[in-house]
């Protein structure tokens, strides 16, 4: 039987950030991870020489919690273009670019037909308050993003063909029912962002977090699925595969939303699913921009040539393309309909692309309906704490913030004999 100061269950970003902070403050910390590696949903595999994340990930390097947690320069993040290519309902194509980062795309943006004076005014009405006075905007009454767009008068093709399908891929929500406050905060974070992927895939982030935690003194053990958690006198008893019985003064449960109620008496939050298809080709894709299908005539919500921004993701002479769909138990896309839509998005050449892998991720993100949750308490019992993006916002930023808050909760607890 082993006795520790703290046992952290789960080695995703939240658990690793928590462990690093606690170990750095002198606590003796053991992290138990059920999988064979750290990362949780942020994981990367090598398949036939390609670097495949589990699902399509984007790392926003403007997130304050990311910069506070790891050496961003050490991740070697390759930025995606701050522009999108839109397949319009009328059959035409439009390009919309960030006016400051892609000034050369301004003529194409203005000629796209999506940026009408009425929609621009409505967009500024919706986004402006949270850019100018973010704290005041966050405290106002929340509603769904669909209601927020309606209230701002954002009802034209900019919404229906770009904003709605774009955010449906970001949030795994096509119903426009996510918190308007959160979506506006998310949109605000995109303005200065250099969003992209580490050269070695999204898995580089949790590896960097784990390295920091180990350097601070945390003991990270993988392949250690926890089967039981119970209170015994003034300690927590943790039973895990390959470990037998561990005792700890404090336990931090940092598992995904879908697994939360297996270990603690907290209702599992609702989650939303995504599905990503990974394709390989020897022919360079037609565009390096994120493609959004505003026609919605198929399951794909976005597609991107990853290797255009991250050449290391594909072997020399080959290219890597992802196509992401929404996933629900009632609606799972199949290869036939995905390839049919790809032929419209990328042209007939896509019919010869090699399918490398399909990732079905039923619990890709926790749902965040209005009102946007105020911070859920990290401490839920005597010596028991919870961390994860389901306690903050459905993002890497939310996961890291939650991990830090859980660590502070542990440090604020009285030390028990």
* Same domain as 279, residue 358: yes
Split into its structural domains, the chain has a count of 3
**pLDDT per residue as tens digits for the range 65-81:** 999 999 999 999 999 99
The SS3 assignment for 250 reads: strand
Q: What is the pLDDT of residue 376?
A: 79
Name the token pair of 282.
Answer: 């020897």
Q: Which of 164, 192, 220 is the last residue of a domain?
A: 192
> Could you tell me which residue, 46 or 377, shows the higher pLDDT?
46
Which conformational region is residue 278 in: left (phi greater than 0), alpha (psi within -120 to 50 degrees), or beta? beta
pLDDT band (50, 70, 90) for residue 133: confident
- Residue 318 and residue 354 in contact, taking contact as beta carbons nearer than 8 Å: no
H/E segment holding residue 397: helix 396-412
**pLDDT per residue as tens digits for the range 91-106:** 899 999 887 778 888 8
Give me the mean pLDDT over the 337-355 stretch: 95
DSSP character for 270? P
Domain that holds residue 23: 2-43+203-268+375-412
* Same domain as 355, residue 280: yes
Q: Which of 165, 192, 219 is the last residue of a domain?
A: 192
Residues contacting 380, CB < 8 A, separation 6+: 264, 265, 266, 386
* Same domain as 355, residue 275: yes
Task: Say what percent of the chain tops pLDDT 70.
Answer: 97
* Same domain as 263, residue 276: no
pTM: 0.94
pLDDT band (50, 70, 90) for residue 375: low
**pLDDT per residue as tens digits for the range 221-270:** 999 999 999 998 889 999 999 998 899 999 999 999 999 999 998 888 89
* Same domain as 175, residue 144: yes
**Distance between CA atoms of 13 and 237, rounded to whole angstroms?**
24
Asked if residue 110 belongs to a domain, the reply is no
| Whether residue 24 has pLDDT greater than 90 | yes
Task: Say what percent of the chain tops pLDDT 90.
Answer: 81
**pLDDT per residue as tens digits for the range 259-313:** 999 999 888 889 999 999 999 999 999 999 999 999 999 999 999 999 999 999 9
Asked if residue 6 belongs to a domain, the reply is yes
Q: What is the pLDDT of residue 5?
A: 96
| Whether residue 416 has pLDDT greater than 70 | no
Task: Calculate the CA 9 to chain-centre distance.
Answer: 20
Asked if residue 107 belongs to a domain, the reply is no
Residues contacting 267, CB < 8 A, separation 6+: 261
Asked if residue 29 belongs to a domain, the reply is yes
* Same domain as 380, residue 248: yes
Asked if residue 134 belongs to a domain, the reply is yes
* Same domain as 9, residue 51: no
> Could you tell me which residue, 53 or 132, shows the higher pLDDT?
53
Q: What is the pLDDT of residue 14?
A: 98
| Whether residue 374 has pLDDT greater than 80 | no
Q: Which of 169, 192, 215 is the last residue of a domain?
A: 192
* Same domain as 406, residue 342: no
**pLDDT per residue as tens digits for the range 174-210:** 999 999 999 999 988 877 666 899 999 999 999 999 9
Asked if residue 92 belongs to a domain, the reply is no
Asked if residue 335 belongs to a domain, the reply is yes
| Whether residue 358 has pLDDT greater than 60 | yes
Q: What angle do CA 14, 269, 191 make, to 5 degrees?
A: 60
* Same domain as 341, residue 403: no
Q: What is the pLDDT of residue 62?
A: 85
The SS3 assignment for 217 reads: coil
* Same domain as 173, residue 289: no
* Same domain as 25, residue 156: no
Q: What is the DSSP string of 92-114?
A: -EEEEE-TTT-GGGHHHHHTSSS
Asked if residue 141 belongs to a domain, the reply is yes
* Same domain as 51, residue 34: no
CATH number where 297 lies: 3.90.660.20
**pLDDT per residue as tens digits for the range 385-407:** 999 999 999 999 999 999 999 99
């Amino acid at each position: 039987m082993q006795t520790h100061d703290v046992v952290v269950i789960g080695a995703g970003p939240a658990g690793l950030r928590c462990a690093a902070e606690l170990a750095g403050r002198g606590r003796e910390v053991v992290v138990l991870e059920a999988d064979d590696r750290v990362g949780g949903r942020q994981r990367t595999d090598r398949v036939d020489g390609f670097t495949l994340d589990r699902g399509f990930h984007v790392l926003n390097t403007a997130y304050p919690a990311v910069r506070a947690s790891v050496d961003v320069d050490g991740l070697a993040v390759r930025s995606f273009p701050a522009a999108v290519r839109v397949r319009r309902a009328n059959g035409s194509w439009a390009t919309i670019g960030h006016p400051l980062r892609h000034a050369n795309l301004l003529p194409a943006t203005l000629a796209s037909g999506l940026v009408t004076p009425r929609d621009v005014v409505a967009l500024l009405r919706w986004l402006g308050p949270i850019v100018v006075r973010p704290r005041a905007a966050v405290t106002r009454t929340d509603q769904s993003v669909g209601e927020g767009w309606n209230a701002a008068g954002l009802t034209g093709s900019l919404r229906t063909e770009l904003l709605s399908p774009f955010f449906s891929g970001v949030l795994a929500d096509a119903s426009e029912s996510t918190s308007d406050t959160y979506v506006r905060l998310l949109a605000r974070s995109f303005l200065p962002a250099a969003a992209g992927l580490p050269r070695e895939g999204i898995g580089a982030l949790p590896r960097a977090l784990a390295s920091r935690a180990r350097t601070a003194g945390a003991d990270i053990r993988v392949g250690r699925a926890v089967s039981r958690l119970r209170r015994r006198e003034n300690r927590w008893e943790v039973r895990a595969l390959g470990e037998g019985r561990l005792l700890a003064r404090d336990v931090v449960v940092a598992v995904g939303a879908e697994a939360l109620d297996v270990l603690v008496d907290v209702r599992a939050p609702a989650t939303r699913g995504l599905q990503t298809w990974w394709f390989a080709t020897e022919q360079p894709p037609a565009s390096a921009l994120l493609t959004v299908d505003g026609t919605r005539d198929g399951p794909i919500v976005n597609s991107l040539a990853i290797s255009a921004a991250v050449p290391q993701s594909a072997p020399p002479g080959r290219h890597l393309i992802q196509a992401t769909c929404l996933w629900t138990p009632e609606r799972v896309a199949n290869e036939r309909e995905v390839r049919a839509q790809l032929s419209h998005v990328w042209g007939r050449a896509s019919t010869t692309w090699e399918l490398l892998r399909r990732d079905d991720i039923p619990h890709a993100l926790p749902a965040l309906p209005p009102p946007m949750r105020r911070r859920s308490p990290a401490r839920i019992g005597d010596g028991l704490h919870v961390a994860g993006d389901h306690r903050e916002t459905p993002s890497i930023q939310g996961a890291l913030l939650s991990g830090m808050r859980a660590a502070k909760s542990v440090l604020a607890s009285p030390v028990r004999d």
